[in-house]
């Protein structure tokens, strides 16, 4: 069975991963191991959270699962390193794990490329300064941002407590008519259960952090399945 290991910071919405296993018919193993630091959405804390040693510790925890690929399941803890630093972060993680590796930030860029998205709206839960760094990262990846909103939520724990209805409202309320898709960049937010509802409401693709992270891991492992329950990204062949 193909196995993708995920390094997840603290605890918030990690139940999206076993939920994805179920939606994919238990054809894949998606184990999650946790590393710990502050869950504050602030640049110094995020740089510490995504540090080389913390990710090496996460890779060591995943080793028992014998993953085919490893993904750092944290958007802010990767894009905060900027484009070049995020590449270096992933290279060091791959070396520590001895497996292909990536991060959620690169997953967004590659997923947008896979769907042919050129212009997007960003509906971020982060404070404005952190959300702006995500926009800069996307732009470096060749994606035009036509609208960006930031909810100003300070911690991942608060994001993890958002109701399904609040997540839907966040996405729908921050669409833009010129956007090819809406991007929701926080792995602390449970989104897999409402993806189809949001896409139906908007009539366009929606990319969310846990969705693209899982897709990226499966891509690295060499087997992205079709699914009618994980958004346009998993329906596009």
Please, what are the domains in the chain? Answer: 4-106+210-234 (3.40.50.12500), 117-208 (3.40.50.12500)
Whole-structure pTM value: 0.96
The more confident residue out of 237 and 8 is: 8
pLDDT tens for each residue of 49-101 = 899 999 999 999 999 999 999 999 999 999 999 999 999 999 999 999 999 99
**Coil, helix or strand at residue 174:** coil
Instruction: State the pLDDT at residue 236.
Output: 59
Which spans in the chain are helix H? 16-23, 43-49, 52-62, 76-79, 82-97, 104-115, 128-140, 156-160, 164-173, 195-202, 209-221
Say whether pLDDT at 14 is over 70.
yes
Considering the chain, what percentage of its residues have pLDDT values greater than 70? 99
Average pLDDT over residues 1-16: 95
Please give the span between the terminal C-alpha atoms of the chain, in angstroms, as a whole number: 22
The more confident residue out of 49 and 215 is: 215
pLDDT range class, residue 237, cuts 50, 70, 90: low
- Record the tokens describing residue 181, joined without a space: 């898709």
- Record the tokens describing residue 212, joined without a space: 């693209």
């Amino acid at each position: 069975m193909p196995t993708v290991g995920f390094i997840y910071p603290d605890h918030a919405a990690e139940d999206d991963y076993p939920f994805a296993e179920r939606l994919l018919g238990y054809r894949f193993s998606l184990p999650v191991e946790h590393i710990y630091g502050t869950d504050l959405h602030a640049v110094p804390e995020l740089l510490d959270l995504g540090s080389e040693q913390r990710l090496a510790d996460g890779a060591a925890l995943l080793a028992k699962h014998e993953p085919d690929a490893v993904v750092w399941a944290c958007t802010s803890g990767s894009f905060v390193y900027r484009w070049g630093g995020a590449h270096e972060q992933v290279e060091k993680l791959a070396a520590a794990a001895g497996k292909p590796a990536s991060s959620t930030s690169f997953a967004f860029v590659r997923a947008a490329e896979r769907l042919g998205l050129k212009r997007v709206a960003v509906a971020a839960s982060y404070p404005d300064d952190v959300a702006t760094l995500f926009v800069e990262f996307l732009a470096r990846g060749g994606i035009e941002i036509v609208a960006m909103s930031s909810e100003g939520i300070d911690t991942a724990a608060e994001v993890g407590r958002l109701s399904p209805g609040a997540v839907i409202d966040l996405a729908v309320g921050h669409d833009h008519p010129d956007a090819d898709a809406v991007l929701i960049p926080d792995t602390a937010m449970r989104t897999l259960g409402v993806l189809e509802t949001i896409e139906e409401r908007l009539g366009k693709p929606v990319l969310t952090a846990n969705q693209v992270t899982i897709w990226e891991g499966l891509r690295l492992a060499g087997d992205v399945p079709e699914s009618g329950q994980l958004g346009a990204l998993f329906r596009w062949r």
